[in-house]
Structure 1
Amino acid sequence: MGAHRVGGSREMVYILPFPNLGHAGAGPAGPCQPPLLQGRCDGEWQRGRNILWSLTREPARREGCPVLPEALNAPLAGKLINSWFDCTLQRRRYSQFNGKAKRTEKVNRREPSIDLLEAFVEHWKGITHYYIESTDEDTPAKKTDIPWRLKQMLDILVYEERQQAASEAGPCLEYLLQHKILETLCTLGKAEYPPGMRQQVFQFFSKVLAQVQHPLLHYLSVHRPVQKLLRLGGTVPGSLTEKEEVQFTTVLCSKIQQDPALLTYILEGKKTVARKQVSREPTALPGEMASIEDKDHPHSKAPDTGPCGAGALTTQLPAETEEPSGGIGENNLVTSLIGLCKSKKGRVALKAQENLLLLVSVASQAAATYLVQSSPCCPAIVEHLCQLYQSMPTFLDPADIATLEGISWRLPSAPSDEASFPGKEALAAFLGWFDYCDHLIMEAHTVVADALAKAVAEKLFVEILQPQLLHVSEQSILTATALLTTLLRQLRSPALLREAVTFLLGTEQQPAAPEDSPCTLCTHLIRHCDHLSDEISIATLRLFEELLQKPHEQIVRSLILCHLEGRLYVVRGSPEPESYEDTLDLEEDPYFTDGLLDSGFQPSKPPPAPATNLDGKTAVTEIVNSFLCLVPEEAKTSAFLEETGYDTYVHDAYGLFQECSSRVAPWGWPQVLTPLDAHEPERPFFEGHFFRMLFDRMSRILEQPYSLNLQVTSVLSRLALLPHPLIHEYLLDPYINLAPGCRSLFSVLVRVIGDLMQRIQRVPQFPGKLLLVRKQLMGQVPGEQLDHQTLLQGVVVLEEFCKELAAIAFVKFPPQGPHLCLSPPPEGHV
Structure 2
Amino acid sequence: MFSKFTSILQHAVEALAPSLPLQEDFVYHWKAITHYYIETSDDKAPVTDTNIPSHLEQMLDILTQEESERESGETGPCMEYLLHHKILETLFTLGKADCPPGMKQQVLSFYTKLLGRIHQPLLPHINVHRPVQKLIRLCGEILAAPTENEEIQFLCIVCAKLKQDPYLVNFFLEVSMMSIRCYHNRGSRMAELTSHTSIFMLSSLSVSQDGRIVVKACEGLMLLVSLPEPAAAKCLTENTELCELLTDRLSAFYKALPMSMDPLDIETVESVNWGLDVYNMKDDAAIFTGKRALISFLSWLDYCDQLIKEAQKTAAAVLAKAVRERFFVAVMEPQLMQTSEVGILTSTALLNRIIRQVTSEALLQDMVYFLLGEEKGPETLASIAQNPLRHRLIEHCDHLSDEISIMTLRLFEQLIQKPNQHILHSLMLRSLEERNYLENKPQEEREPVENDLEEDPLFVDDFSPENRLSSPDWLSNSPTHSPYHAKPDGKTEVHKIVNSFLCLVPDEAKSSSHVEGTGYDTYLRDAHRQRWDWRGTPKAMEKCDLDSPFFEGHFLKVLFDRMGRILDQPYDVNLHVTSVLSKLSLLPHPHIHEYLLDPYINLGPGCRSLFSVIVRVVGDLMLRIQRIPDFTPKLLLVRKRLLGLEPEGLNIDHMTLLEGVIVLEEFCKELAAIAFVKFHASASTSP
Higher RCO (CA < 8 A, seq sep 6+): 2
TM-score (norm 1): 0.70
Which residue of the partner structure matches residue 31 of structure 2?
A: 122
Query: Which 10-residue stretch deviates more, 232-241 or 729-738?
Result: 232-241
Q: CA deviation at 1:453?
A: 1.2
Which residue of the partner structure matches residue 166 of structure 1?
A: 74
Q: CA deviation at 1:206?
A: 1.1
Asked if structure 2 preserves the Cα contact closer than 8 Å seen for 1:671 and 1:820, the reply is: no
Of residues 510, 522, 527 in structure 2, which corresponds to 1:636? 510
Q: CA deviation at 1:782?
A: 3.3
Corresponding letter in the other structure for 1:800: E
Q: Distance in 2 between matches of 1:387 and 1:255?
A: 33
Q: Are residues 1:552 and 2:417 paired?
A: no
- 1:618 is paired with a residue whose SS is coil
Q: Are residues 1:211 and 2:113 paired?
A: no
Q: Structure 1 residues 172, 565: closer, same or farther in 2, change over 3 A?
A: closer
Taking the TM superposition and a 5 Å limit, the aligned residue runs for 1:223-242 are 223-242=129-148
Of residues 158, 163, 172 in structure 2, which corresponds to 1:257? 163
Corresponding letter in the other structure for 1:554: H
- 2:566 is paired with a residue whose SS is coil
Q: CA deviation at 1:241?
A: 3.2
Taking the TM superposition and a 5 Å limit, the aligned residue runs for 1:75-90 are none
1:477-517 CA distance string (max 9 Å, x none): 22222222222222222212221221122121222222444
Query: Which 10-residue stretch deviates more, 420-429 or 121-130?
Result: 121-130
Corresponding letter in the other structure for 1:380: L
Which residue of the partner structure matches residue 357 of structure 1?
A: 222
Which residue of the partner structure matches residue 183 of structure 1?
A: 92
Q: CA deviation at 1:623?
A: 0.9
Corresponding letter in the other structure for 1:148: S
Q: Are residues 1:402 and 2:267 paired?
A: yes
Cα RMSD after superposing both structures: 3.6
Q: Distance in 1 between matches of 2:312 and 2:209?
A: 29
Corresponding letter in the other structure for 1:439: Q
Q: Distance in 2 between matches of 1:543 and 1:320?
A: 48
1:106-127 CA distance string (max 9 Å, x none): 95xx866983465134321354
Q: Distance in 1 between matches of 2:276 and 2:201?
A: 21
Q: Are residues 1:426 and 2:335 paired?
A: no
Q: Distance in 1 between matches of 2:147 and 2:636?
A: 69
Corresponding letter in the other structure for 2:24: D
Which residue of the partner structure matches residue 480 of structure 2?
A: none
Taking the TM superposition and a 5 Å limit, the aligned residue runs for 1:596-745 are 603=462, 605=464, 612-656=486-530, 659=531, 661-662=532-533, 669-672=535-538, 674-675=540-541, 682-745=547-610
Asked if structure 2 preserves the Cα contact closer than 8 Å seen for 1:183 and 1:221, the reply is: no
Q: Distance in 2 between matches of 1:161 and 1:154?
A: 11
Asked if structure 1 preserves the Cα contact closer than 8 Å seen for 2:83 and 2:127, the reply is: no
1:742-790 CA distance string (max 9 Å, x none): 1111111111112222333443432222222212222223345433222
Q: Distance in 2 between matches of 1:762 and 1:523?
A: 39
Q: Distance in 2 between matches of 1:741 and 1:347?
A: 64
Q: Distance in 2 between matches of 1:325 and 1:144?
A: 38
1:670-703 CA distance string (max 9 Å, x none): 235624689x874432111111111000001111
Q: CA deviation at 1:569?
A: 1.8
Unpaired segments ≥5 residues, structure 1 = 1-99, 281-316, 327-331, 597-601, 825-830
Q: CA deviation at 1:629?
A: 1.0
Q: Distance in 2 between matches of 1:783 and 1:414?
A: 42
- 2:568 is paired with a residue whose SS is coil
Q: Are residues 1:386 and 2:251 paired?
A: yes
Larger radius of gyration: 1
Asked if structure 2 preserves the Cα contact closer than 8 Å seen for 1:186 and 1:225, the reply is: no
Q: CA deviation at 1:528?
A: 1.3
Which residue of the partner structure matches residue 584 of structure 1?
A: 452
Q: Structure 1 residues 112, 821: closer, same or farther in 2, change over 3 A?
A: closer
Unpaired segments ≥5 residues, structure 2 = 1-11, 182-187, 469-482
Q: Distance in 1 between matches of 2:364 and 2:277?
A: 22
Q: Structure 1 residues 252, 637: closer, same or farther in 2, change over 3 A?
A: same
1:193-224 CA distance string (max 9 Å, x none): 53x44432321221233334565545666545
1:349-385 CA distance string (max 9 Å, x none): 3333332222111122222222222222333233222
Q: CA deviation at 1:810?
A: 0.7
Q: CA deviation at 1:251?
A: 1.4
Q: Structure 1 residues 421, 454: closer, same or farther in 2, change over 3 A?
A: same
Q: Structure 1 residues 813, 260: closer, same or farther in 2, change over 3 A?
A: closer
Which residue of the partner structure matches residue 495 of structure 1?
A: 362
- 1:799 is paired with a residue whose SS is helix
Q: Structure 1 residues 459, 603: closer, same or farther in 2, change over 3 A?
A: same
Asked if structure 2 preserves the Cα contact closer than 8 Å seen for 1:147 and 1:200, the reply is: yes
TM-score (norm 2): 0.84
Q: Structure 1 residues 237, 583: closer, same or farther in 2, change over 3 A?
A: same
Q: CA deviation at 1:246?
A: 2.1
Q: Distance in 2 between matches of 1:384 and 1:553?
A: 30
Q: CA deviation at 1:565?
A: 2.4
Q: Distance in 2 between matches of 1:758 and 1:318?
A: 82
- 1:798 is paired with a residue whose SS is helix
Q: CA deviation at 1:392?
A: 2.1
- 2:335 is paired with a residue whose SS is helix
Q: Structure 1 residues 262, 176: closer, same or farther in 2, change over 3 A?
A: same
Q: Structure 1 residues 741, 466: closer, same or farther in 2, change over 3 A?
A: same
Q: CA deviation at 1:147?
A: 1.8
Query: Which 10-residue stretch deviates more, 644-653 or 516-525?
Result: 516-525
Of residues 363, 368, 376 in structure 1, which corresponds to 2:233? 368
Q: Structure 1 residues 143, 124: closer, same or farther in 2, change over 3 A?
A: closer
Asked if structure 2 preserves the Cα contact closer than 8 Å seen for 1:116 and 1:172, the reply is: no
- 1:442 is paired with a residue whose SS is helix
Asked if structure 1 preserves the Cα contact closer than 8 Å seen for 2:227 and 2:312, the reply is: yes
Q: Distance in 2 between matches of 1:478 and 1:347?
A: 35
Q: Distance in 2 between matches of 1:342 and 1:141?
A: 29
Corresponding letter in the other structure for 1:623: I
Q: CA deviation at 1:535?
A: 1.5
Which residue of the partner structure matches residue 802 of structure 1?
A: 668
Asked if structure 1 preserves the Cα contact closer than 8 Å seen for 2:200 and 2:240, the reply is: no
Corresponding letter in the other structure for 1:790: T
1:12-50 CA distance string (max 9 Å, x none): xxxxxxxxxxxxxxxxxxxxxxxxxxxxxxxxxxxxxxx
Which residue of the partner structure matches residue 788 of structure 1?
A: 654
Q: CA deviation at 1:419?
A: 7.3
Q: CA deviation at 1:129?
A: 5.2
Which residue of the partner structure matches residue 473 of structure 2?
A: none
